Structure 1
Amino acid sequence: MVMEYCVCGMQEMLDSVPEKRFPVCQAHGYFCQLVDGLEYLHSQGIVHKDIKPGNLLLTTSGTLKISDLGVAEALHPFAEDDTCRTSQGSPAFQPPEIANGLDTFSGFKVDIWSAGVTLYNITTGLYPFEGDNIYKLFENIGKGDYTIPGDCGPPLSDLLRGMLEYEPARRFSIQQIRQHSWFRKKHPPAEELVPIPPSTDCKDRWRGMTVVPYLEDLHGCADDNGEEDLFDIEDDIIYTQDFTVPGESGCHCSFTAWPPCPPAYVAELTSPCPRPDLNLGGPAESTDSRGGVAGPPLPHGSRWGSWRAEATQGALLCSGKCTSRPTRW
């Protein structure tokens, strides 16, 4: 089975920054995609029941994907409404009707509530309801009392109140969310966006790229233009850095590809130094992705992803790149 690759989850991104939240413009973009996804699920008669940042995945292009339909429910094609009777979602994202133990409830409005808690979380770094244990948490949710931080602003606060409405019948619908001023407004970037955090497992990071040549060989679907078109130029350059290091005799510059080049990939020093008097075209010490010294300059097909060029005088200006051109064995 071949599935679309998502580079990380939204919760991972939130956990990678101290504030545990996104800038408004970034949160707005993700939330709009979440609403699109929910609208599609509901149009197909599917209630997700567990919307939360941990179940929202992101591709390298920033496209949001709703995942984990393990507790989702497909409504009967001839059902009169979206009534559901069971829920096993994450406690902090459950609505009052579930916290209070109602036998039946609107499935779509459960997803709206969970999406509202998600929006609250990714814009404030907090949760509208908390408790020392699940019983206290459900007690607080069941009461429906919460506060919205003042720095959220009136439009966002109004949207949150509409989505976190205690009474399901008065809770916002997808259409009301789409018509809301905060949803429709274009939010200019006022803060630095939260980047996708580096992978902690290099093997996972490269698995999606290394499988392509093998599928090509297996199914005979090679491009007429040959292997050079296997990846476009933006895929080729994983990381490039230009920098200077001032100093006297013995100073050095370092370039590290992050994440390190995977096994069987090419790493090369593309521009040792524009100053020939520094004589950086010769041997350079290379370091493997596991931190050990690899030895001589990086050959084609090198397994090493970082290197250091030593200088004998003056300042250095160096650049390098790690390419994603697979080496056939």
Structure 2
Amino acid sequence: MDNKWWQEFAVVAFSFTIYTLKNDWMFISSIGSITLGVLFYVILYVHAQFNRFFFLPILFKKHKPLIYIFLTIIGIIIFSVLLNNLMTLDMFSQSQLYQNSHQKSFTFQFASVSGTLVCILSPIIVFKFYRIYKQQTDKTILYNQMQLNALRAQLNPHFLFNTFNTLYGISLQFPERTSDLIMKVSQLMRYQLESNNEHSVSLEDELSFINSYVQLEKERVAHRCEITYKCEIDNENAYKISPMLLIAFIENAFKHGTCAIEKCFVHINISVSKGLLHLNVINSVPKETKVISTNIGLKNTTERLKLIYGEDYTLNVNNDPTTYNVDLKIQLKMGKNEGS
């Protein structure tokens, strides 16, 4: 029913059905009576359309309800008088329609014009607001998708930059491991590129990606940094999540929590129970070392959370002199992977 012409047809069918039931068309047997009945309906329909195109704009566009009501009443009276005068013509004397005395009165015609106006205008107005709402919704979805694409375009180079920095740091300390690490990085890049065009991926794939990234960071700093990664999922294959969403918080923890010479730590805990994902990332804060950061990854991820999950998430960040704590909860959706 999104097609405007089908909507118009539905309005005509609905109002004509009400009109025929009101006038007991089931008792009509002659073609002439049916023709006169259709003529009456056409007049009523023309009146409703006249109100629609000439009077309704006064209400909706100019916001003058009193003028609209006044003109509507005048229009109903004029068309009621017209129909009442048609009843006096000779051709109606042979018709099986409108033979009762009350049907030949002005009051009956006034009620018919008013009732038909309501039966026709009501669904028309409903369909109009439906089309407006759908158009606004489509625009909102398109705008949100454009924003997401823009955020992803910024986030992906940010992830690449951090990953290659990690690879560079490992190659300086353990050059013999470089070839294996390049293979791991290529796998991370493959997932990052393939998931870029997906609205959602399976939670299992996303967690596998995160695990690979954590293992890569362990290669780089585990000798001087305490790293823990725990993951408990009640059913990995049952959930889906927006790709590359959690990694920004984990990247940030390794970037800031492992830059000091003194003892440092990064603790990552992920759990999912009955669709509620809980990510808790805690990292140490260096006493004197300062890390230059634009925070693009965190800002973009926060914006993505707002756009994708709306009110279905909570994010709390606690930054004190010694630790940085990120606590994120997301209500995940059930289902299989779905592409864009």
With normalisation by structure 1, the TM-score equals 0.26
Return the index of the structure with the highest Cα Rg: 2
Higher helix share: 2
With normalisation by structure 2, the TM-score equals 0.25
